[in-house]
Every structure is written in C-alpha cells, then in structure tokens.
RNA sequence: UGGGGUAUAGUGUAACGGUAGCACGACUGACUCUGGAUCAGUUAGUUGGGGUUCGAAUCCCUGUACCCCAGCCA
C-alpha cells in the first residue's frame, strides 16, 4: 500500500489522534511493537462511504505501521444477517484496494469459545441466568437519572446458573424466556453496566452456523472477545461505543485474557447525503432510487457505478482526517478528490450530449479525414487516437448562441471558433424550423487551419468539442445532481421527514447523445472524460447496441458559474 | 435532572506552553487547442468570562452550546 512508508514519511506526516496512540504504543513497546487492527462489519447491509472512512483508518494504520488488519464479520444476530451482505462487503473492501490476506474471520466461528468463557464467568460468580421478560428487564434497568433494581434471579447458585445456561443452549426454553446477564452494578451511572444481557435465546437459523445454536451472544460480550481471540491491539470503533468501553474492559478483565485498547472516532457526515442504513433502505424500498447501487447512493456500490475510483475515495478518507467530534464534510471535497484522480487517469473522448447539427458548406461531400487526438494531456504515455471529421457534424447546443453576450466565447453568427484537433469554423447562417427553433448551423471551415492552428497566427476565443455525424455512436447519458436539495437532508418542516428534501432533478436522462466511434467497445464501469463536460462511466446497463454513461462529476465550469450568478 | 464525550476561518483539519498553519470552498489574476488542468495571489479562525505565566488554542477555574446512552440491535 502507498501508506506503507516506514520511518521517513511517518516523521513528516501529521498523525491523527488514533495514529498518535498507535505510534506512542509502538515507541513504548506496549504491544511488543505489534499493530493489529480489524474492520468488523455486521453483514446486515451494504457498505457506504462512511464505512470507507473506517476501512481506510483500520487498514491504513496497519499498512502504515507495518501491522495487520483483519476483515471480520460481526455476525452475532442471525435475524438480520445474510450471506448476500457478506459477499458484497468482501467485494467492496477489496475494490477499495485493501488486503486482509488469509485473515477473513467470522464472530460465529468463535461461538463455542465465547460459550466456554460465559461458563467461566458464571463459575466466577460474575454472571447469572435471569428469567425476567424483556419488558421486565427494561423496567428494572431504571432511567438515566434513577438507579435500577436488581433482578430477583440475581443470586441464584452457580450450580443452578450453570445448569440453566446449559439448558438454554440445549434449546429447552423458548425465545426470550431467559437471558444470561453479567453481574455488575444495577445502580451504575452508566446504564450499560447495569447487569447487561450477554446471551439471548433465539431459535433462528444463522447464515453460517445454521441451527447449531439457539443462544446468541450480545455485541458487548462478543466484540471484545473477538478482538481478544484475534490478538487485536487497537480496537477502533465509532463514538457511540464510547459508553460501552467500560463494559468492554470489564469483560476482558473478568476473564483475564488479551485486552486490546478500544479507541473511538467520529463517524463521517457528508453534506447532501444520508448515511443511516435505515434511511438508505427507505430510499430503496420506496423507489426514490433504483437500488442499492443507484449512482446517487453513497454506498460503495453506488459510488462505483457512478464512476468514483477506489483511489479517489481513499484520498478522500485520508484528507478528511479523524477526530472525536461530529462534523460534516463538504460534498465539494469529495468532488475535488475524484476530479483530482480522474484528471490524472481518465482517457479523454469527445461526446455531444445535446446535439446541434453543423453543416460545413465548403467541405467536400463524402470526404472523411481521420484526425489525431490526444488521449490524455496529463499522461503522454496514454498516446493518441484518430477521430473522424466530415461535412456534417454535431456540436453542443450550449456552444452556440444567436445573440451572444460579450462574455460568451463560443460560436455565434459571424464568429469563428476552433473545433478541437480539427479546423477553425465560422458560423454563416442559422437554420430554423417553423417554430423558430434552431435546427442547424451552416458554417465554413478554413482548410489552412487543419489540426487546429492558424498559419497566420490568428486566435480564437474558444475550442469546441464535436462529433462527426455519420460515424457517431448513439448513447444514453444520465446526469446526476445531489439526491437532496438541502445540505442537511434531515432539516425539515414539522411533520415532514427527509423525503421532503429529495431533489426531483437528481437524475436527468439524455437520449440521442452522440459519442465518438472509439467508444464502441466500452466495457461497463470503464471511466473516461467527455472533453469539456465532465467525467463519465459506462453503466452496466450498457449493451453492445446501446451505450449508457453515468456522469460522475462535471469538470469545473467557470462559464456555468458565471451564468448561475447572473440568474440570481 | 445521571453518566460519557466534544468545541480552532464558510467547511474540514494541524499547531503537544513560544510567529495560529494546511486543504476544500469563495474571490482576483496569469497561462491554455478542454471556460478543464496548472500557476500566483486575496479572503477568513482559537465557544464566553476569569486566572497562572515573560508568553496560553494549549495549563487551572467557571459559564455556554452540541453529540451519545434507558434493544434480549450492532
């Protein structure tokens, strides 16, 4: 990984607070210089850009400090989890470019060990089987300001607890009939410490263990044990688990096993974006988007389909930093990262989204010239290609104005512009239909300017992209805007929810677009830049006969900005 | 009202008792066969109030604001 920079880079690079802890530990020899992290998703949904922050933190730290990072599925709740999610998560983490080598783990593989440790906890008098119902347990818990009351089953003998717990495992009791709870302190100011449930009865098939188990460990019990078993040194999680750390520590201390350090950091928030699984699900279920990989979704699948590169997302995760307080990153920063990467790597190509026909009156009928075009000015190694030029062309409707203001540099009656890699052309005549709509431009070209330079040294103010009509390929192009009209989609009037802020124009589908013939065999997810327009990515909906492109992000456009300002 | 956290330009993030810096955004300008890219510049900040100190974003006291916690979810 590029992050692996050993000593040299580590000195100059500023460390976030998590890396600072890791660096200090390496220095002090706390873990014998070992660094071992993990990314522990629950396989109950698709990964999104917020997970990418966590992934890059965990894998990034391991890479930077010469350590290891495991991919571990925290699959302790059979009711919500599915193999499909496991597969997609594996795919997404790998797509992002991280490698867990042979360390793909599942919490469910540790169920037996966890069970044995629970028995040990009972034997130490630190856990008991409780017969209270869920509702009763809730009432006994007390409130934020009032202490709880102890369960009447709290003082059962160790023998009885052992027996009952064994029978829980054996399936003697129905769902919810009993739980195993830690014996801590019902008046603890931290509610998590008030005799938390550590096993519940769930007669449900697990996606990996099938019906082997009918009791399942709770997160607080399971997570630290998973970390301990794997020899994790730094257990990095999000802020809402801060309140759980005393419990994490309590369990590991009670068992006197390897005890990693839990460190909490703030989740990612992005403007114009929702990150909650529940709300993203709602968008899918209520058909506000086409699916989990809709290019407007912040899921990694959505971003991939939109055309984001793994590098751009990793760069973004690096540049946003890590902290302990809630903040909201400007979506423009994500756009900056993707433009920066795609500018370096994307082959340029010419495409006309809203075609306006141009006929060159003085160009020979039937003649076709194949002109040389540069594939990527940022990367000479990308080479060149040939694009066809002939009498009938298409240019962008936006590139012509009949009554052009001074600041409009493009084509207008009597004005001369350059067609990229081709010739200077001058607009002689505007052809309209009965309604007055412009349907065609008659232009003349200057044969002396072949390739794009005038021998007499005269200049033009603009260079337009174009496509030769006869050789052009038809394409569908999907233009995306923010899914929400507000920076904070949750900001709503009374009685409304976030769906009130959905942007009705977040997707615009253009058909009859014209693209240059070199795009003929474009593969799905192939990225390119449409010159002067933006970065695009072939959608998986593309077929041999029908090309479909998604716009990832526009190029920065000072003319568009100018126009926007004037409208206001 | 209990407990646990956190506050630095518009946004994000550094500064670890010693010149408040960087990035994004916004705004100028230069350059350009992409109104792209690139380059140069401008803009703007320590949550309030006390204190310690030659010196405080940093240490102390005290307000204020925001986030998290009462699942047999993670």
pLDDT at A568: 65
Q: What share of chain A is helix, strand, coil (3-state, %, to 5)?
A: 30, 25, 45
The overall longest dimension of chain A from CA atoms, in Å, is: 102
Q: Any atom of strand B under 7 A from CB of A143?
A: yes
Distances (CA, A) of A234 to A8, A68, A69, A224, A230: 23, 11, 10, 11, 11
Q: How many angstroms separate the CA of A361 from the C1' of B38? A: 38
- Tokens of residue A440, six digits: 């065609």
Fold of the CATH domain A2-267: Rossmann fold (3.40.50)
> A358 by DSSP, 3-state: which?
strand
Is residue A267 part of the annotated active site? The answer reads yes
Nearest-10 crossing angle of helices A331-345, A310-320: 140
Q: Any atom of strand B under 7 A from CB of A568?
A: no
pLDDT at A566: 81
Name the catalytic one among A126, A141, A154, A267: A267
Q: How many angstroms separate the CA of A555 from the C1' of B36? A: 6
pTM comes to 0.96
Checking DSSP bridges between strand A547-554 and strand A473-480, what pairing results, if any? Answer: parallel
Beta-carbon contacts of A307 under 8 Å, excluding residues fewer than 6 positions away, are A295, A338, A342, A525, A527, A535, A536, A537, A550, A551, A552, A553
Is residue A34 part of the annotated active site? The answer reads no
Strand partners, A536: A528, A551
What values do phi and psi take at A562, rounded to 5?
-60, -45
Per-residue pLDDT tens over the stretch A257-304:
999 999 999 999 999 999 999 999 999 999 999 999 999 999 999 999
Name the catalytic one among A3, A42, A160, A440: A42
Rounded distance between C-alpha atoms, residue A104 and residue A73, angstroms: 8
Q: Which residue has the tokens 């052309």?
A: A425
Checking DSSP bridges between strand A424-432 and strand A416-419, what pairing results, if any? Answer: antiparallel
DSSP A288-301: SSSSTT-TTS-BHH
Interface ipTM above 0.90: yes
Q: Any atom of strand B under 7 A from CB of A132?
A: yes
- For A72-88, b/e burial (b = at least 16 CB within 10 A) is bbbbbbbeebeeebbeb
Nucleotides of B under 7 A from a protein CB: 1-8, 10-16, 23-27, 33-38, 66-74
Q: In terms of CATH, what superfamily is A277-347+475-567? A: Ribosomal Protein L25; Chain P (2.40.240.10)
Q: Any atom of strand B under 7 A from CB of A348?
A: yes
Per-residue pLDDT tens over the stretch A66-81:
999 999 999 999 999 9
Checking DSSP bridges between strand A355-360 and strand A438-445, what pairing results, if any? Answer: parallel
Rounded distance between C-alpha atoms, residue A210 and residue A214, angstroms: 10
Rounded distance between C-alpha atoms, residue A295 and residue A517, angstroms: 25
Q: Any atom of strand B under 7 A from CB of A201?
A: yes
Query: Domains of chain A: which residue ranges?
Result: 2-267, 277-347+475-567, 351-465
Q: Any atom of strand B under 7 A from CB of A559?
A: yes
Nearest-10 crossing angle of helices A158-170, A111-123: 160
Q: Any atom of strand B under 7 A from CB of A458?
A: no
pLDDT at A312: 98
Is residue A459 part of the annotated active site? The answer reads no
Q: Any atom of strand B under 7 A from CB of A384?
A: no
Q: Walk along chain A (568 residues) and give the pLDDT tens digit of each residue.
A: 333 333 333 335 689 999 999 999 999 999 999 999 999 999 999 999 999 999 999 999 999 999 999 999 999 999 999 999 999 999 999 999 999 999 999 999 999 999 999 999 999 999 999 999 999 999 999 999 999 999 999 999 999 999 999 999 999 999 999 999 999 999 999 999 999 999 999 999 999 999 999 999 999 999 999 999 999 999 999 999 999 999 999 999 999 999 999 999 999 999 999 999 999 999 999 999 999 999 999 999 999 999 999 999 999 999 999 999 999 999 999 999 999 999 999 999 999 999 999 999 999 999 999 999 999 999 999 999 999 999 999 999 999 999 999 899 999 999 999 999 999 999 999 999 999 999 999 999 999 999 999 999 999 999 999 999 999 999 999 999 999 999 999 998 878 899 999 999 999 999 999 999 999 999 999 999 999 999 999 999 999 889 999 999 999 999 999 988 887 6
Name the catalytic one among A126, A141, A277, A442: A277
Query: Is 1.10.3720.10 the CATH classification of the domain at A351-465?
Result: no
| Domain A2-267 shares a fold with domain A277-347+475-567 | no
| Minimum CA–C1' distance nucleotide for A239 | B68
| Minimum CA–C1' distance nucleotide for A326 | B67
Rounded distance between C-alpha atoms, residue A464 and residue A418, angstroms: 6
């Amino acid at each position: 990984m590029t992050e692996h920079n050993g000593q040299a880079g580590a000195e100059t690079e500023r460390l976030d607070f998590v890396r600072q802890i890791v660096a200090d530990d390496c220095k002090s020899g706390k873990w014998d210089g070992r660094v071992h992290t993990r990314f522990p998703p629950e396989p109950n949904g698709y990964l999104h850009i917020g997970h990418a922050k966590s992934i890059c933190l965990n894998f990034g730290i391991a890479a930077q400090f010469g350590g290891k990072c495991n991919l571990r599925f925290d699959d302790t709740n059979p009711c919500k989890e599915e193999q499909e999610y496991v597969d997609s998560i594996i795919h997404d983490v790998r797509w992002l470019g991280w490698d867990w080598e042979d360390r793909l783990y599942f919490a469910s593989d540790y169920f037996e060990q966890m069970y044995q440790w629970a028995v040990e906890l009972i034997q130490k008098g630190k856990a008991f089987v409780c017969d209270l119902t869920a509702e009763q347990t809730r009432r006994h818990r007390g409130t934020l300001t009032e202490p709880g009351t102890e369960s009447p089953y709290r003082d059962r003998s160790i023998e009885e607890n052992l027996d009952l717990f064994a029978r829980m495992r054996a399936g003697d009791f129905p769902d919810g009939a009993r739980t195993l709870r830690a014996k801590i302190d019902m008046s603890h100011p931290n509610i998590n410490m008030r005799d938390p449930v550590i096993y519940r009865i769930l007669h449900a098939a697990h996606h990996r263990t099938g019906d082997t188990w009918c009791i399942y460990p709770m997160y607080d019990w399971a997570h630290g044990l998973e970390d301990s078993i794997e020899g994790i040194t730094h257990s990095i999680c999000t802020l809402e688990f801060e309140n759980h750390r005393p419990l994490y520590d309590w369990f590991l201390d009670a068992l006197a096993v390897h005890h990693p350090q839990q460190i909490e950091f703030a989740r990612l928030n992005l403007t114009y974006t929702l990150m909650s699984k529940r709300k993203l699900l709602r968008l899918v279920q209520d058909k506000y988007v086409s699916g989990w990989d809709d290019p407007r979704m912040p899921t990694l699948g959505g971003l991939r389909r939109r055309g984001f590169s793994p590098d751009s997302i990793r760069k973004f995760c690096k540049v946003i930093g890590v902290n302990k307080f809630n903040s909201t990153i400007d979506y423009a920063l994500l756009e900056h990262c993707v433009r920066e990467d795609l500018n370096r790597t994307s082959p340029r190509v010419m495409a006309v989204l809203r075609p306006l026909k141009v006929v060159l009156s003085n160009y020979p009928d039937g003649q076709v010239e194949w002109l040389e075009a540069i594939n990527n000015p940022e990367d000479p190694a990308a080479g060149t290609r040939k694009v066809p030029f002939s009498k009938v062309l298409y240019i962008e409707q936006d590139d012509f104005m009949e009554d052009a203001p001074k600041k409009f540099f493009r084509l207008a009656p009597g004005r001369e512009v350059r067609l990229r890699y081709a010739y200077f052309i001058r607009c002689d005549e505007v052809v309209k239909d009965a309604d007055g709509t412009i349907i065609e431009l008659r232009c003349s070209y200057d044969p002396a300017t072949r390739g794009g330079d005038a021998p007499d040294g005269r200049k033009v103010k603009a260079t337009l992209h174009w496509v030769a009509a006869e050789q052009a390929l038809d394409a569908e192009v999907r233009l995306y805007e923010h899914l929400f009209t507000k920076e904070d989609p949750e900001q709503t009037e009374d009685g409304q929810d976030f769906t009130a802020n959905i942007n009705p124009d977040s997707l615009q589908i253009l058909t009859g677009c014209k693209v240059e013939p070199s795009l003929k065999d474009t593969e799905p997810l192939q990225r390119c830049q449409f010159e002067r327009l933006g970065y695009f990515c072939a959608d998986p909906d593309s077929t041999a006969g029908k090309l479909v492109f998604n716009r990832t992000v526009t190029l920065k456009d000072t003319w568009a900005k100018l126009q926007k300002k004037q409208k206001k």
